[in-house]
């Protein structure tokens, strides 16, 4: 069984492309190439859901693999060091940049003190309050969800190792109950913020862990059987199902809180569809896997973290600086829409590559405080 799972790199690349397209579209309003495709940029926020699914898979995979092989479990010291060195330095740098160029001041909410914004972001609890939820850089809310799940992961793993199906089902029920409660108590007020906290996403993490468990348990057997040639069909079915789900909520895009309310009851179904796509693709013949594990998508996966951290900053700064140039309202100018979209996407990919290769990777290559266990290897997507 390979330590590096290229299929997951491809899915990560697709996820960050969806988020990038979504946020650039919010600024340019450029229509999709074909009318029937318009739901894709407008529901590109689903890329974040795919990120959470992949996180559930990635962090549980080394532990599940060790259990299956009967080898030494990865140490918690190594686990948290790798999470810290991957997330914290680039995260702090992005916050520094946001303040240095004045972007953080531009997106401030009311008179929230700067120290409060900084403290809550440094503690990854800024999603708990409306005043700090979208401050500094609006995309950082997902980092709070991720880090909070990492903190809880030892407890989740303790339960999941002993009863994976029951634990995953419990996580999915907790997420559904949380979203239903927040919609019932405060749909017209704080629902969008409460629903976007960790409890509301436990089902996506659970589906990622469940997929990793199934792959470790049954992946080799499926790949070595005739079923491997049927796996691309299942992967396509999962992709079509996600598309149908997104197209359905797209029809309610003029309703209040439609992005969140549209997934109120179905977010767990998205997670299960992601699990079908990932498991089937991992067990498919190499020709199908190469459709996902191709060089462009793997490159996007490598720079995905910094692309995610900065893409909204870059796009909004370009708009504020009139790059490309415009006067009045540019949204009625198809030529400007195309130019802005291309410039924003190219600029943010270039910027992400620079930060990844000149900052993130050198930092991540710093020596661990203690040598990791020999069997830990590499996680599929760190």
- Tell me the whole-structure pTM to 2 decimals: 0.94
**Nearest one of 151, 179, 182, 197 to 267, comparing CA atoms:** 179
Average pLDDT score over residue span 73-79 = 94
Average pLDDT score over residue span 126-154 = 96
| CB-based contact 9:51 (threshold 8 Å) | no
Condensed to tens digits (0 to 9), the pLDDT of residues 92-126 reads 999 999 999 999 988 776 678 999 999 999 999 99
Burial 303-322 (b: 16+ CB within 10 A, else e): bbbbbbbbbbbbbbbbbeee
How far apart CA 303 and CA 361 sit, in angstroms, is 10
Condensed to tens digits (0 to 9), the pLDDT of residues 2-59 reads 456 899 999 999 999 999 999 999 999 999 999 999 999 999 999 999 999 999 999 9
- pLDDT at position 378, please? 39
Would you list the domain boundaries of the chain? 6-364
How far apart CA 154 and CA 150 sit, in angstroms, is 8
Flag whether pLDDT at 187 surpasses 60.
yes
Q: What region does 285 belong to: left with phi over 0, alpha with psi -120 to 50, or beta?
A: beta
Condensed to tens digits (0 to 9), the pLDDT of residues 313-357 reads 999 999 999 999 999 999 999 999 999 999 999 999 999 999 999
Average pLDDT score over residue span 162-174 = 98
| CB-based contact 171:206 (threshold 8 Å) | yes
| CB-based contact 364:98 (threshold 8 Å) | no
- pLDDT at position 258, please? 94
């Amino acid at each position: 069984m390979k330590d590096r799972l290229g299929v997951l790199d491809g899915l990560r690349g697709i996820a960050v492309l969806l988020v990038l397209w979504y946020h650039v579209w919010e600024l340019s309003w450029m229509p999709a190439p074909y009318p029937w495709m318009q739901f894709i940029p407008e529901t590109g926020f689903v890329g974040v859901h795919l990120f959470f699914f992949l996180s559930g898979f990635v962090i549980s995979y080394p532990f599940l693999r060790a259990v299956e092989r009967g080898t030494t479990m990865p140490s918690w010291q190594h686990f948290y060091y790798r999470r810290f060195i991957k997330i914290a330095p680039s995260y702090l740098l992005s916050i520094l940049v946001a303040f240095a160029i004045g972007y953080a001041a531009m997106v401030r909410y009311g008179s929230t003190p700067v120290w409060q914004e900084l403290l809550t972001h440094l503690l990854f609890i800024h999603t708990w309050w409306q005043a700090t939820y979208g401050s500094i850089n609006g995309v950082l809310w997902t980092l709070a969800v991720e880090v909070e799940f990492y903190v809880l992961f030892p407890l989740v793993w303790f339960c999941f190792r002993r009863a994976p199906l029951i634990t995953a089902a419990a996580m999915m029920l907790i997420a559904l109950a949380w979203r239903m409660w927040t919609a019932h108590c405060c749909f017209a007020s704080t629902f969008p913020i409460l629903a976007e906290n960790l409890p509301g996403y436990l089902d996506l993490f659970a589906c990622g862990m469940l997929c990793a468990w199934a792959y470790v348990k049954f992946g080799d057997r499926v790949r070595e059987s005739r079923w491997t040639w049927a796996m691309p069909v299942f992967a396509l079915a999962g992709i079509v199902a996600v598309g149908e789900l997104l197209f359905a909520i797209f029809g309610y895009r003029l309703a209040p809180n439609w992005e969140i309310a549209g997934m109120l009851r179905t977010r767990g179904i998205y997670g299960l569809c992601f699990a079908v796509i990932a498991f089937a693709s991992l067990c498919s013949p190499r020709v199908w896997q190469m459709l996902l594990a191709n060089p462009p998508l793997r490159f996007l996966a490598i720079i995905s973290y910094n692309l995610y951290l900065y893409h909204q900053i870059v796009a909004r700064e370009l708009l504020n600086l009139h790059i490309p140039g415009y006067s009045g309202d540019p949204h009625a100018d198809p030529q400007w829409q195309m130019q802005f979209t291309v410039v924003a996407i190219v600029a943010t990919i270039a910027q992400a590559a620079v930060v990844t290769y000149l900052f993130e990777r050198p930092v991540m290559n710093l020596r661990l405080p203690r040598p990791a266990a020999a069997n830990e290897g590499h996680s599929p997507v760190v």
